[in-house]
Amino acid sequence: MNTITAAITAVGAYVPDFVLTNKALESMVDTNDEWITSRTGIKERRILKEEGKGTSFLAIKAAQDLLAKANIDPLEIDLLIMATATPDMPVASTGVYVATEIGALNAFAYDLQAACSSFLFGMSTAAAYIQSGRYKKVLLIGADKMSSIVDYTDRSTCIIFGDGAGAVLFEPNYEGLGLQDEYLRSDGIGRDFLKIDAGGSLLPASLETVTDNKHNIIQDGKTVFKYAVTNMADSSELILKRNNLTNENVDWLVPHQANKRIIDATANRMNLEDSKVLMNIEKYGNTTSATLPLVLNDFEHLFKKGDTIILAAFGGGFTWGSIYLKWAYDKK
């Protein structure tokens, strides 16, 4: 029996129509376009403005885009993994609702939360299910409505985050393509540096927590930046060495879109030329769980069967890692 690897065979994405530009943010907080662009690389971000629509709406749209492009019957999906840091509600699972809404009635589903590393960790999980031989089609969605947890009077966070969703389909491969290796890590030291204080079991919602604005994301920017630069770069360099890869062997770097300076530091550690580093941060900002699949979707037309792709991410917790993937198809 041939060895089973887990390959991405289709991608899809969705971003809301409303564009929040750096210029618009100038009227909201003490900042300006030059300051934001020079420090983050972000020019604009998409925001889901419609009332009554949450992360599930974004995820459903991205999944439907994938299914339509790949001409796949949703009843063929065995499992749906919902990577998100902003579920519709604490209970019930957002992924379960998404699966039902897209017609994946034969799939079981659940949510996976590892902050900005959620999609990367989800890739590992989806691949393991495929490699086990038990399932043939695993749909992994990364989606976040970050605007729901951002304080738009806090310039340290509101300039960074946006809303969006991306999806990939994992299927068995017998040519040695797909996920080749992974290096995933976490460290609870990050708990105090990037978080939402209230709304969980430690500090349940109350009038006081709402009044004190404890339900929005806060971060110690300098500390997070330092850890992100070090760990994303270290994990990417390690995955190369462990697989005897050089910068010449790598076709593309797909990095988490948190900050252009973090991306540049990772690429420099890998000694990669700029043309191999894929970025759309200027259009979307940091969409958390959606950044990696949005990049895969936006640049799908560049990928060739057999291309070597390194994916890297860093998120709150802290969580981080890198995945070595061989692309499995040419876009039709």
Alpha-carbon span 117 to 190, nearest angstrom: 13
Alpha-carbon span 7 to 325, nearest angstrom: 8
Among 116, 158, 231, 259, the active-site one is 116
182's tokens = 């992974």
Alpha-carbon span 178 to 309, nearest angstrom: 10
Q: Judge contact between 7 and 131, C-beta under 8 A.
A: no
183's tokens = 């290096």
Among 173, 259, 286, 297, the active-site one is 286
Among 231, 256, 259, 297, the active-site one is 256
Q: Judge contact between 120 and 321, C-beta under 8 A.
A: yes
Residue with tokens 């010449």: 248
Alpha-carbon span 217 to 195, nearest angstrom: 6
3-class secondary structure, 28: coil
Catalytic site includes residue 297: no
Alpha-carbon span 310 to 314, nearest angstrom: 14
Number of H helices, E strands in the chain: 11, 13
Question: Which positions ≥6 away from 235 have C-beta within 8 Å?
Answer: 183, 185, 312, 320, 321, 322
Q: What angle do CA 298, 14, 117 make, to 5 degrees?
A: 75
Work out the angle between the directed axes of helices 260-270 and 33-40 (0-180°, nearest 10): 30
| Count of Cβ atoms closer than 10 Å to residue 75 Cβ | 10
Q: Judge contact between 55 and 167, C-beta under 8 A.
A: no
Kind plus residue range of the DSSP H or E element containing 67: helix 55-70
Catalytic site includes residue 256: yes
322, with CB counted inside 10 A (0-12, 13-18, 19+), is buried
Active site residues: 116, 256, 286
